[in-house]
Amino acid sequence: MPVWPGQPGPGQPWRGPRSWHGQESACSGAWEPRFLEQNSLLIGHAAWDGYRLSGRGLLICHLAAPLEPEHDWRLDGVRFSRRYVARSEVTAQLRHQGLGPAAIRPSLGALDSYDPARELVVLLSGHGPELIALLRKLPTAPPTCFELVERRWSEFACAAVP
C-alpha cells in the first residue's frame, strides 16, 4: 500500500496537491493501482537498476499517451517510459515538473527513509496530474524484479518505451 511517512492512515487520504495515498486516487479515476500492478516487474526492475547505479532516488513513469476511457486492463498494455532520478537531482526535477513545496517535502522525506530492497518511490505522469507514491509491501521486491526481468529481457523489451 502506498503511504507517506507522517501522513494520515488508510481511509484518510492526504489531500496535498498532486499526491496520492491509499488504494485509489481521487485525482484520475484509480488508474494508478491497475497500472502499477500490470507493470510491477518493469517498475521494480527500473527502480532497482537506478538504485544500483545512483543510490536512492525517484522512478518517473510517464505514459506515452493518456488512457482511453474504454481501456481494458485485462487485455490492453500501456506504453510508458521510465527514468530514474538520483536523490540529489529530485528537487530540481520535481520543480521542473511544476510541483511545489507541498509535494516536494514529503517526497524528499520518503526518499530519505524508504528501504530500496523492499520499497520504491515513483512519480506517475501522462494521464492527469502527476502522482507521487511510496510503494510498500510490494508483491515482488525490486531486487527480485531486476533478476527476473534480466533473465527474461526479450519478453519485456517490447512492453515499455526505453
Within a domain: residue 20? no
**Tens-place pLDDT, residues 13-56:** 333 333 333 333 334 457 899 999 999 999 999 999 999 999 99
162 is a domain residue = no
Q: Supply the range of the domain harboring residue 143.
A: 31-66+73-156
CA distances to 32, 59, 71, 82, 140 from 93, rounded to whole Å, are 21, 11, 30, 14, 27
User: Coil, helix or strand for 78?
Assistant: coil
Residue-wise pLDDT tens digits, 76-113? 889 999 999 999 999 999 999 999 999 899 999 999 99
Give the DSSP H or E segment for 45.
helix 40-54
What is the pLDDT confidence band of residue 156, given thresholds at 50, 70 and 90? low
**Distance between CA atoms of residues 60 and 47, nearest Å:** 9
The number of folded domains in the chain is: 1
CB atoms within 10 A of CB 79: 13
Q: Answer yes or no: is 144 within a domain.
A: yes
Inside any domain, residue 132 = yes
Sheet arrangement for strand 120-125: 80-86, 57-63, 120-125, 131-135
* Stretch 56-73: mean pLDDT: 91
Residue 17 within any structural domain of the chain: no
Q: Is residue 104 part of a domain?
A: yes
Helix (H) or strand (E) segment spanning residue 85:
strand 80-86
Closest C-alpha to 69, from 129, 127, 130: 127
Strand partners, 63: 80
pLDDT in tens, 103-150: 899 999 999 999 999 999 999 999 888 889 999 999 999 999 999 999
* Residue 59 belongs to some domain of the structure: yes
